[in-house]
Amino acid sequence: MQKRDIEKEVYIIGNEGPVIKVELPADDYIVFKDLYITHSGTCLPIKFKENAPNEPKYTMEPSAKVIREFEIKEKMDTICYVHKGGIMFRHCTLTLKSHKKKLKSRIPMIVTLPKTFINLTSCTMVGNEENHNAGCILINSDVFISDTKFVDFKAGAIYCMANPDNTVEIQDSTITNC
């Protein structure tokens, strides 16, 4: 998917669940180029966790417990959920800035499941500095991240768990305020 008009920005916006859910045959992938992709978060205030009286206590050190706190499931709120197949982002901006401030839920921007593929090249990933956002949760998948900026992820920019047979390459990228 690529925008046609060079002069105008093209947005993909979702309100609930994953904005993009990838379910392709194992060796297939989809490419997104020069797009703005955002999760509006308009349905988040009705969630049970958001209406709980207490502020949740999250783990702030890297551990397996941190990933469990994101409650990864098929209909979770995220920008991209890769279940099968793969996805490539080229010169895209992915953002959670439109989320209401001080949300109680931990929300990742990208989640990949085992035996999947993701490629981020020359992208900008923007979280919401007031919330418990994470950039990527990459679980036993093949990963290539190059020339990508991660900004304002209070819960961390990249969580990557990989097996010896996975390829993980992260190069020439910057992480700021995470």
Closest C-alpha among 157, 90, 161 to residue 121: 90
Alpha carbons within 13 A on the beta-carbon side of 78 = 25
The residues with which 119 forms a beta bridge, in sequence order, are 88, 144
Q: Is residue 103 part of a domain?
A: yes
* 8 A C-beta contact, residue 133 and residue 76: no
pLDDT at 16: 85
Contact residues for 57 (Cβ-Cβ < 8 A; gap 6+): none
Q: Is residue 91 part of a domain?
A: yes
Low-confidence ranges of the chain (pLDDT < 70): 1-3, 5, 7, 42-56, 58, 60-64
Q: Is residue 2 part of a domain?
A: no
Three-state DSSP string of 128-144? CCCCEEEEEEEECCEEE
pLDDT at 47: 59
Q: Which domain holds residue 15?
A: 11-46+60-176
Q: Is residue 3 part of a domain?
A: no
Q: C-alpha dihedral over 53, 103, 112, 156, to 10 degrees? A: -110
Whole-prediction pTM value?
Answer: 0.87
Question: Mind giving me the DSSP string for 76-115?
Answer: -SEEEEEEEEEEEEES-EEE-TTSPTT-SSEEEEEEE-TT
Task: Give the total number of structural domains in the chain.
Answer: 1
Q: Is residue 134 part of a domain?
A: yes
pLDDT at 93: 96
Q: Is residue 133 part of a domain?
A: yes
Question: Cα(171)–Cα(173) distance, rounded to whole angstroms?
Answer: 6
Question: Cα(136)–Cα(110) distance, rounded to whole angstroms?
Answer: 5
Q: Is residue 55 part of a domain?
A: no
Closest C-alpha among 167, 37, 173, 166 to residue 158: 173
